[in-house]
Structure 1
Amino acid sequence: MTTRLSHDDYLAALDRSASQIAELTARLDPTADVPTCPGWSVRDLIAHLGGVHGWARGIVAGGSPKGPRPEPEGELAEWYADQARQLLDALRATEPDTETWTFSSERTAGFWFRRKAHETEMHRIDLLLTAGGAPAYDEALAADAVTEVLEVMLPRMQGKDPVAVTAPIRFVSGDTGDEWVVRPASEPGVVDYTHSTTDDAGQTDAAAPVEVTVTAPASDLATGLWGRTPYVLWSIDGDRDVLDTLMRSTITP
């Protein structure tokens, strides 16, 4: 079982999110603070995201991860839209199984299809919140964002030490039926987890005992793990200290 989407779905999500980001950027004051990215203005966020789009485009094309990142020129929204378009063009021209550098154990261009869809969607939410809107992450994409945190981000951020999971934790997506059970692991940077989905009878494959279960819509789980929305709003059943230990550690960049 997996939450992964097709590469076409990731491209479609990236395209949608990037288009909305360009629209929001054109409306917002570039000097406005982004509350979910402390210390960043709208311009800082767009400079970062557009620069990373250009950097990833170079890697997908066979370049070095030490390659340059483009910086904003001219009108900010137009510059960002151009960087997003060039990234999309590069991904569409690349077979997902093409070998490439990544910061994960997955060493193919397919990694960047997925990563850029999630990064762009999360920053779209940053701008929505800046504009006074409510975060709304596509359900299927949000479920995969949870898996990506466990597969990619948590091992990356805690790679030198055992991950801050002191007892088994179950994450339940109430709207998609996905469940993740995360267990302690003694090896640094290893996340021991299993994923399952609710079957037609309303049961799940993740029957192992846990110390705490959290339940929320997939969007709230994803944005909570990324620190965009308060995880204390999740429904929490069990030992909160176990959950707090993980959530107060460095989970994502």
Structure 2
Amino acid sequence: MSRLGYDELCARLVEQTDLLAAQVAGADLTTPVPSCPGWNVGQLGRHLGGGQRWAESIVRDRPAGPPPDDSFRDLTPYRDEDPAVLGPWLRAGARGFAAALVAAGPDAPIWIPTPSTTVGVGSTFWARRFTHETLLHRADAALALGVEFAVDARVALDAVDEWMELGSLPEMLDFHPAQRELFGPGRTVHLHATDTAPEVAAEWLVDLTGEAIVWRRSHEKAAVAVRGPLSELLLMVYRRRPVEAGTVEVFGDVDLLRFWLDRVAFG
């Protein structure tokens, strides 16, 4: 369940898109994006905006299954984007999407790509998914352009929670059978954000000792513990920043940490 209410998710979707549009204003959009190999910043923006418009069509039209997702899959036509065009296009798409979400309301029975309700249902799933999709692609652009990446703690906390929830869905073991190689005695991972207030639940324990990935918000001893700023933990789990970058502290079995990150890659 999201830490953010539905109305806030809709607002944050627009906010994160506006922040991305501000990043690309006046930038060289032909700059390669290392975390999305084969794309430049302009292509990244087109991919994100196309995805938002695709999700808006789901919320608006309520199809029984996924509509065709053809737009912006082939990004070769967008190698030389103009910031003066891309920025307003991104802003307009996010506002149209948010308006469709607000009109639908939080409980609309809309198709989502998983039977699980733990990640949200209907329109709430899409509002949350694209808030954090936009956040992470904003990080991609910031890292590519060499500008600061900062994120509100509430948004980052919910982004990590959603990553944990999606990555631990039982169906992921069918989609990615190699995840079963993670399971074994004593295999636990602890993440601890060091820059949040003590009363904020900014710690996570991932338990790999059974036959499924189980996680909880908790302070517990583990085979490997990772401590660092919340934004850096977010970038690490999404594999935007490698463990070797030194932006987090690792205690214990670093090989288990790397193995876990490799097997549960998402987004």
Name the amino acid aligned to 1:47.
R
2: CA distance between counterparts of 1:210 and 1:241?
A: 13
For the 8 Å contact 1:58–1:67, the answer to whether it is kept is no
Name the amino acid aligned to 1:242.
L
Aligned length: 240
| Deviation (angstroms), 1:175 | 2.0
2: CA distance between counterparts of 1:180 and 1:16?
A: 26
Residue in structure 2 matched with residue 18 of structure 1 by the alignment = 17
| Deviation (angstroms), 1:147 | 1.2
Residue in structure 1 matched with residue 157 of structure 2 by the alignment = 143
Residue 195 of structure 1: which of 217, 236, 244 is its match? 217
2: CA distance between counterparts of 1:185 and 1:68?
A: 38
Q: Deviations over 1:209-240 (max 9, x none)?
A: 42111111211111111122223322111111
Residue in structure 2 matched with residue 65 of structure 1 by the alignment = 66
After TM superposition, the structure 1 stretch with the greater mean CA deviation from structure 2, 144-153 or 99-108, is 99-108
Residue in structure 2 matched with residue 201 of structure 1 by the alignment = none
> TM-score, with normalisation over the residues of structure 1?
0.84
Describe the SS at the equivalent of 1:134: coil
> TM-score, with normalisation over the residues of structure 2?
0.80
CA gap of 1:91–1:77, structure 2 versus 1, over 3 A, is: same
Give percent identity, aligned residues only.
32
| Deviation (angstroms), 1:70 | 4.6
2: CA distance between counterparts of 1:82 and 1:116?
A: 15
2: CA distance between counterparts of 1:173 and 1:4?
A: 16
2: CA distance between counterparts of 1:150 and 1:32?
A: 31
2: CA distance between counterparts of 1:28 and 1:15?
A: 20
| Deviation (angstroms), 1:191 | 2.2
Q: Deviations over 1:37-70 (max 9, x none)?
A: 1210122111110110011101112134123455
CA gap of 1:60–1:163, structure 2 versus 1, over 3 A, is: farther
CA gap of 1:185–1:238, structure 2 versus 1, over 3 A, is: closer
For the 8 Å contact 2:168–2:214, the answer to whether it is kept is no
CA gap of 1:109–1:126, structure 2 versus 1, over 3 A, is: same
2: CA distance between counterparts of 1:247 and 1:110?
A: 27
Residue in structure 1 matched with residue 203 of structure 2 by the alignment = 179
Give runs of aligned pairs for residues 2-151 of structure 1, distance below 5 A. 4-61=3-60, 62-63=62-63, 64-68=65-69, 70=71, 75-104=85-114, 105-106=116-117, 107-151=121-165
2: CA distance between counterparts of 1:220 and 1:159?
A: 30
Describe the SS at the equivalent of 2:122: coil
For the 8 Å contact 2:227–2:250, the answer to whether it is kept is yes
Gaps of 5+ in 2: 73-77
| Deviation (angstroms), 1:92 | 1.4
1: CA distance between counterparts of 2:45 and 2:123?
A: 23
Greater share of helix: 2
| Deviation (angstroms), 1:26 | 3.2
Residue in structure 1 matched with residue 75 of structure 2 by the alignment = none
CA gap of 1:193–1:84, structure 2 versus 1, over 3 A, is: same
Q: Please tell me whether residue 243 in structure 1 is matched to residue 257 in structure 2.
A: yes
